[in-house]
A and B are shown apart, each in its own frame.
Chain A
Amino acid sequence: MFTPPEGARRSRPGHTVLMYGNDFAEPDDPGAGPLNAADGGAVEAAAAHVDTKAREGLASFDAIIAADQRIEPRDAMPEEYRQTLIRQIAQHAHSEIIGMQPEGNWITRAPSLRRKAILIAKVQDEAGHGLYLYSAAETLGITREELLDRLHTGKQKYSSIFNYPTLTWADCGAIGWLVDGAAIMNQVPLCRCSYGPYARAMIRTCKEESFHQRQGFELLWELMRGTPEQQAMAQDATNRWWWPALAMFGPRDTGEHAVTGGHTEQSMAWGIKRFSNDDLRQKFVDMTVPQAARLGVTLPDPDLLWNEERGHYDFGEIDWDEFWRVIKGDGACNAARIERRVSSHEQGAWVREAATAYAAKQRERADGAVGAGEGSAA
């Protein structure tokens, strides 16, 4: 087992200091320093991108991609590029809205009003991310309704991480810290994605996700400085979420667990994907291990060890059988998540139909009013 250095486990360190009005910043204050991949300025750098393709007279798809400029909805693009993006953006959007369920699971049981407000706002943000992403996908010539239908009928997937259950309050913290942390590691490079609307949606999403990740860390921080029951809760959640979070980066790129025939190579060439799965996973591990030490939790991997030579942490093999089993439908919550999503959609059908019918009536009335107005003027 990887054990954090001595001194990382301290009981309620900050509270005494604050109680006496001392304003020294704690060296390991949860608010200090970068906590995730969006914290280091990469998102701002991507947001500062100014497209020069018009000035440079780049017209063809290949020329735009080669110059690392952005493809916009009106630009010509290969059909396969369009379909790849639709698939990826849709899966991302579906993950946001299915992801509302595991955390929404704790809204009615959040243990303080502050935490409850934070959690409601977070689940609300996920709905918002879903909206930006469905809108980005719609620029590629497909509707939200069609995409939702593909989700509901199992033709498109969402991130397999949400097929794991949230069993205790600490799971909300572990999801923020580890799952959002891993998601950000994946998404920061997408802020420079070759498709403009997706890149812009990712910039906004990453900024908010960074906030969520920090809140998750802070939730666990408070638990680890709390009672033995709270500490045990935080450790248990870490144990259950660590491996699924590492698996979020997808299959290995090389070696016996690698998957061949995927879309990776083409996506790299098109500037949709920028780093390999294993590179991103390694970055995530390197960033997260010191944070576990600061929190005082143990990561459930006996092979986790700093490798001086590589300048990275070595870590154990993911249980790929479990990974594929859950993706294929045999996870604790696969059936329940989709059932609830479909049920919610069906329960809302009469409301959406009413809104459409009302809007049509309003248009008719407006047309009628215009007609009447013209008549009286004449």
Chain B
Amino acid sequence: MSEKETGAAYSAYVLGLADDALIYSHRLGEWLTWAPALEEDMALANVSLDLIGQARSLLTHVGSLDGTGRSEDDLAYLRDERDFRNVHLVEQRRGDFGQEMARMLWFSAYQKALYAALADSADEQLRAIAAKAHKEVRYHHDHAAQWVVRLGDGTQESHERMQAALTWVAPFVDELFDDSGAAVAAAVTAGVGVLPSSLRSPAQASVEAVVAEATLTMPATPKWRSRGGREGVHSEPLGFLLAEMQYLPRSVPGARW
């Protein structure tokens, strides 16, 4: 395969990473004015801004890899729901603060392991993006960890809510570490991506350590698990998210903003 063909084959893998960051940054952006304290409005905005930065770099890279020359905004605003490649975890509606910290704990643990592993990627651009992002997501993980511990080991109410939040997030965890899908295979073959299953052990270890310190317990294996996000089969909330996010650029086609 030529370099161009290889790039096109694994671009869907990079798109998955980009869409995770893009959609989660959107959900975190919804927190502004709703956080439990001003300091937390600022912290959640920081995480959202880091992720939007990652999404922009990754999307721009996708546009050159897949040969379409699409810009970050073309990819964010002009694709339909079935063309998004993010996992279900990040598209779920904003819940209470405990749920957000449970989601951030798992997602940042996953991203931390992912970006560390991508230091060996054959794709130089992806390596550079991962190196910068790794520093950011370590902070996200610390932030979530601190809150999970405070809430778990805080009051009776916060303990119960945090435990319930861990149960809420559990069905969305397996999908993060799922190896199935053509994009993963292409990226691994090209030496560009890593098998998601290889990230499970370090991510799970860091989550378990936090849960133990928080005097909480890991929830039982859930009855169901999410699947299909990497193939563009999503849960219902994504359609609403995109309707809101994309309506303006689509209502004035070709406009610059």
Contact = CB atoms under 8 A, between A and B. Distances in A.
A351 B32 contact: no
Nearest to A226: B255
Interface in B8-54: 22, 26, 29-30, 32-42, 45-46, 48-49, 52-53
Contacts, number: 143
Interface in A160-209: 169
Nearest to A351: B36
Interface stretch (A2-10, A39-47, A102-110, A242-250): A102-110
Enumerate the 5 nearest inter-chain pairs by beta-carbon distance, A residue then B residue, closest first. Answer: A348-B36, A354-B154, A354-B158, A124-B45, A351-B36
A282 B23 CA distance: 45
Contact of A116 (B29, B36, B39, B256): B29
Contact of A127 (B38, B98, B241): B38
Contact of B41 (A100, A351, A353): A100
Tell me the interface secondary structure of chain A in the complex. Answer: helix
A138 to B, nearest CB: 13
Contacts of B65: none
Contacts of A257: none
A120 B248 CA distance: 17
A49 interface: no
Interface of A: 97, 100-101, 104, 107-117, 120-121, 123-124, 127-128, 130-131, 134, 169, 222-223, 225-227, 229-230, 340-341, 344, 347-355, 357-358, 361
Interface string B132-154: 00000000000000000111011
A261 B76 CA distance: 55
Contacts of B26: 108
Contact of A113 (B33, B55, B98, B155): B55
Given A227-B252, A351-B151, 7 more contacts: A100-B33, A100-B41, A108-B241, A111-B255, A127-B45, A351-B37, A358-B153
B151 A354 contact: yes
Contacts of A120: 29, 32, 45, 48-49, 52
B157 to A, nearest CB: 5
Contacts of B29: 107-108, 116, 120
A107 B28 CA distance: 10
Given A351-B158, A353-B158, A354-B150, A111 B257 contact: yes
Given A100-B41, A131-B39, A123 B256 contact: no
A225 B56 CA distance: 25
A111 B77 contact: yes
B240 to A, nearest CB: 10
B252 to A, nearest CB: 5
Tell me the interface secondary structure of chain B in the complex. Answer: helix
Contacts of B33: 97, 100-101, 104, 123, 340-341, 344
Interface residues of B, number: 52
A110 B25 CA distance: 13
A348 B35 contact: yes
A107 B32 contact: yes
B256 A222 contact: yes
A112 to B, nearest CB: 5
Given A116-B52, A117-B49, A357 B249 contact: no
B3 interface: no
B245 interface: yes
B161 A350 contact: yes
B34 A108 contact: no
B6 to A, nearest CB: 27
A113 B255 contact: no
Contacts of B98: 351
A222 B257 contact: yes
A174 to B, nearest CB: 15
B155 A357 contact: yes
Nearest to A15: B256
A43 to B, nearest CB: 22
B32 A100 contact: yes
A112 B37 CA distance: 28
B73 interface: yes
A378 B158 CA distance: 39
B97 interface: yes
Q: Indicate the member of A114, A116, A352, A353 with the most B CB atoms within 10 Å.
A: A116
19 contacts: A100-B33, A111-B248, A112-B73, A113-B52, A115-B257, A116-B52, A120-B49, A127-B45, A223-B257, A226-B255, A227-B255, A229-B252, A347-B36, A350-B157, A351-B37, A351-B158, A357-B154, A358-B153, A361-B153
A169 B255 contact: no
Q: Indicate the member of A117, A121, A134, A352 with the most B CB atoms within 10 Å.
A: A117
A186 to B, nearest CB: 22
A344 B96 CA distance: 11
A121 B49 contact: yes
B249 A97 contact: no
Given A113-B72, A353-B154, A121 B248 contact: no
Nearest to A128: B42
Nearest to A106: B248
Nearest to A355: B150
B39 A358 contact: no
A361 B97 CA distance: 21
A347 B34 contact: yes
A348 B97 contact: yes
